[in-house]
């Protein structure tokens, strides 16, 4: 796997390169872990507001619809029973929370694993800018993506205040935009090409590197019994 990645500008020309830290973009891709994290993320997105009415909640008389004997029909106690039209639902869905507890370390490992897979497949890209002369340009953004990311589904990762890139790419077909702090395993899995802006990439690498250093320091303290 390459240890550097080219950075291109809005015209598709190389303007520099960035390092690809092995601890972030060359880690093991644990497919079962990614599946577990993505499944939990999709479950947490469910509203869980489904509800059906039981026998005691539907409208209708509570008296017997006809006498117990002598009619030749099966005995019935109420028209609100499930076998009657408009009756209650048996064991129907009720509001519930579908979210699952997923440790932060698992979420982080899944994200790095799928990013590493995209990096090894040369599906990771860094763009200096999508605009033109400091202004949004959908035409330029489309031209860059046609030269850089040739797949159908593209994920673009930007910084929070990058309005130029957001306005340049938000109307493009099959393009999904996320801020760098929203980056998650599911959106990377469903996207074939991942395109970072230079500023977003630097922020992501710095943040991940800092977290790993802090974790290493905590581990050393724990071993030392502090």
Instruction: Supply the pLDDT for residue 109.
Output: 95
Question: How far is the C-alpha of 188 from the C-alpha of 192, rounded, in Å?
Answer: 8
Average pLDDT on 172-184 reads 93
Q: How far is CA 21 from CA 110, 133, 194, 197, 213, in A?
A: 17, 31, 16, 17, 13
The mean pLDDT of 212-221, rounded to a whole number, is 57
Strands of 31-187 (E only): list them: 124-127, 154-158, 175-179
Percent of the chain with pLDDT over 70: 92
pLDDT of residue 209: 84
- Sorted by sequence, the CB contacts under 8 Å of residue 195 that are 6+ apart come out as 125, 126, 127, 145, 148, 149, 154, 155, 156, 157
pTM for this predicted structure: 0.81
Place 216 in a pLDDT band, splitting at 50, 70 and 90.
low
Query: Does residue 217 surpass a pLDDT of 60?
Result: no
Computed over every residue of the chain, the mean pLDDT equals 89
Q: State yes or no: pLDDT of 220 exceeds 70.
A: no
Q: What is the pLDDT of residues 15-50, one digit of tens each?
A: 899 999 999 999 999 999 999 999 999 999 999 999
CB 175 within 8 A of CB 156: yes
């Amino acid at each position: 796997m390459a240890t550097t990645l080219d950075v291109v500008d809005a015209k598709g020309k190389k303007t520099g390169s960035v390092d690809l830290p092995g601890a972030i973009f060359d880690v093991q891709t644990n497919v079962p872990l990614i599946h577990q994290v993505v499944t939990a993320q999709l479950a947490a997105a469910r509203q869980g507001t489904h509800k059906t009415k039981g026998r005691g909640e539907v409208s209708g008389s509570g008296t017997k619809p006809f006498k117990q004997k002598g009619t030749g029909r099966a005995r019935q106690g109420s028209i609100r029973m499930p076998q009657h039209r408009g009756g209650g639902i048996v064991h129907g869905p009720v509001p519930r929370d579908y979210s699952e507890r997923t440790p932060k370390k698992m979420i982080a490992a899944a994200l790095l694993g799928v990013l590493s897979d995209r990096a090894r497949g040369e599906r990771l890209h860094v763009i200096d800018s999508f605009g033109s002369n400091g202004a949004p340009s959908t035409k330029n953004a489309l031209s860059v993506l046609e030269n850089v990311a040739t797949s159908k589904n593209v994920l673009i990762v930007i910084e929070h205040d990058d309005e130029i890139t957001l306005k340049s790419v938000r109307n493009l077909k099959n393009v999904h935009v996320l801020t760098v702090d929203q980056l998650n395993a599911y959106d990377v899995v469903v996207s074939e090409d991942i395109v970072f802006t230079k500023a977003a990439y630097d922020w992501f690498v710095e943040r991940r590197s800092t977290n790993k250093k802090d974790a290493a320091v905590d581990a050393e303290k724990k071993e030392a019994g502090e």
